[in-house]
Amino acid sequence: MFRQFTRSDKPAGSNVVDLGAKTGRPAVSPTATDPLDQELVQRLELKSHLHDILLDRLNLAVIDKVQPEELRREVAALVAQVLSDESRPMRTEEFKQLVDELLDEVLGFGPLEPLLADPTVNDILVNSHRSVYVERFGVLEKTRVRFRDERHLLRIIDKIVSRVGRRVDESSPWVDARLEDGSRVNAIIRPCAIDGPSVSIRKFARNPLTFERLVELGTLNDHAAALLKALVQARMNVLISGGTGSGKTTMLNAMSSYIGARERVVTIEDAAELQLQQDHVVRLETRPAGPSGTGMVTQRDLVRNALRMRPDRIIVGEVRGAETFDMLQAMNTGHEGSMTTVHANTARDALGRIEQMVTMIGLDFPVSAIRAQIASGLNVVIQLNRLSDGSRRVMSIAEITGMEGSTITMQDIFVFRKTGIGEDGSVRGHFTATGIRPQCYDRLVQAGVDLRPDLFSAEGVRA
């Protein structure tokens, strides 16, 4: 049966692009002097040997048509034959694991597959072919996952980026891509990556976190969640601010679930990862320049095009350049209820970054005019931080109240007050209302939102 989807006239390894050769540098293989134990080195060498045999025998043109179980049986039979011919005894559990790893090499992303399938892993960070870290529950930990050598890692990178029409080589040594499940991938290779290729994967949540779940995790309390839900339903413009990995996209997904089903939403992202549940959603994604240096589509191009698509709301995954000006224009000209995220350490810093990015368009706008656009377009800034214990918290929900002279005025409605560090390293504190009722409260009521005034009382709302 194996001959139905195998071929013997194909040279080993001819199905892959050897990016290691493109770099002009020799691949580095693990040796006994490496920190890896000898048993792991031998296992990597054995898997490499069997992988080459599989590549020589498999007919990749028809392999997708073969049922997974049938393919597994035939691969297991071939591996058992090779191990027997070479007198390499192996325990049953080790044999099954080896077959799984070989199937991952042929059909998936090799050593990354078990990490991608692990629901407890949020981020996968490949520092080099010998060093792989993961983040679980906000804490980084080193794994025993290894790639055979640098060429092996480069082949996996090429497999990832080529599936979404991207490329990575010496002329374009870094790339943003996404996996089929929506996981976000960044890869960078030599000469920019001095110690060899590096890959960062932010895994796509199969079940987006809801406000109820965020409350359980301590990200915010139920009173603040009720306010955020009301802000979305009343079509307020929201800016979500925070550092890398602070949960901005998670918060954006949670808030977007309260957008009405009758509203037309256009999303704009560098790498699509938003998970909107509505039916009437148009998803747009940027495109890098091609090999000739042409064909680039930027976020600003997509925001301007979105304005012609009759959107009720525009959601930009993250503003980081000149598209910020067009986003503010949209918020000020009838596209209420729009949302976006930005990298910043505090809510006040977020407004400063928005101001700086508007100036990137190169027009000589007075600072006062830019700030007036920001104060008029944005209603609320939500600040998220990733704390020292790995937890992600909403640090503040601040309302933009207007202008005083040339300064944008803000007031905190909810804040997280840190009180110390526990013996186990956990951050102690509580999320509480400041006692200030937002100026937009009347607008929320007029929009038909049922929001109790006592939610904003500073008494008895700690979580």
pLDDT per residue over 22-31, tens digit each? 333 333 444 4
The pLDDT of residue 148? 81
Q: What is the pLDDT of residues 52-103, one digit of tens each?
A: 777 676 665 556 667 777 778 877 887 888 788 778 888 888 888 888 878 7
Q: Is the pLDDT of residue 459 over 70?
A: no
* Together in a domain, 99 and 22: yes
The pLDDT value given to residue 364: 81
Q: What is the mean pLDDT of residues 96-111?
A: 81
For residue 287, the model assigns a pLDDT of: 86
Share of the chain above pLDDT 70, in %: 88
Q: Does residue 170 lie within any of the structural domains?
A: yes
Based on the fold, state whether residues 197 and 216 are members of the same structural domain. Answer: no
Residue-wise pLDDT for 254-300, tens only, equals 999 999 989 999 999 987 778 887 889 999 999 888 777 788 999 99
Higher pLDDT, 363 or 26: 363
The answer to whether residues 378 and 420 belong to one domain is yes
Structure confidence at residue 6 as a pLDDT band (50, 70, 90): very low
For residue 424, being part of any structural domain is answered with yes
Mean pLDDT of 369-397: 95
Residues 259 and 290 both lie in one domain: yes
Confidence (pTM)? 0.77
Q: How does strand 380-386 pair with strand 198-202?
A: unpaired
What pLDDT does 7 receive? Answer: 43
pLDDT digits (tens, 9 = 90+) for 232-254: 999 999 999 999 889 999 999 99
Mean pLDDT of 304-312: 94
Print the domain residue range for 179. Answer: 2-202
Query: Does 1 score more than 50 pLDDT?
Result: no
Task: List the CATH number of the domain containing 139.
Answer: 3.30.450.90
CATH of the domain at 232: 3.40.50.300
Mark whether 195 and 263 lie in a shared domain: no
Q: Could you tell me if residue 314 is inside a domain?
A: yes
Asked if the structure places residue 400 within a domain, the reply is yes
Task: From 141, 173, 202, give the residue that closes a domain.
Answer: 202
Residues 155 and 281 in one domain: no
Question: Which range, 173-177, 286-290, 394-398, has the best average confidence (pLDDT)?
Answer: 394-398
Inside any domain, residue 461? no
**pLDDT at residue 3 in the model:** 43
- Which pLDDT belongs to residue 2? 44
**Does 462 map to a domain?**
no
Q: Are residues 198 and 216 in the same domain?
A: no
Structural domain tally of the chain? 2
The predicted structure's pLDDT at residue 101: 78
Instruction: Assess whether 28 and 113 both reside in one domain.
Output: yes
Decide if pLDDT at 166 tops 70: yes
Together in a domain, 400 and 273: yes
Mark whether 187 and 317 lie in a shared domain: no
Q: Which of 180, 202, 224 is the last residue of a domain?
A: 202
> Which region among 34-38, 233-237, 429-433 has the lowest average model confidence (pLDDT)?
34-38
Mean pLDDT across the chain? 84
Q: Domain check: are 184 and 228 in the same one?
A: no
Q: Which residue, 202, 234, 254, sits at the end of a domain?
A: 202
Which of 88-102, 175-189, 335-349, 405-419 has the lowest average pLDDT? 88-102
**Band of pLDDT at residue 454, cut at 50, 70 and 90:** confident
Domain for residue 463, yes or no? no
288 within a domain of the structure (yes/no) = yes
| 283 and 178 belong to one structural domain | no
Q: Say whether pLDDT at 109 is over 80.
A: yes
pLDDT at residue 64, as a whole number: 61
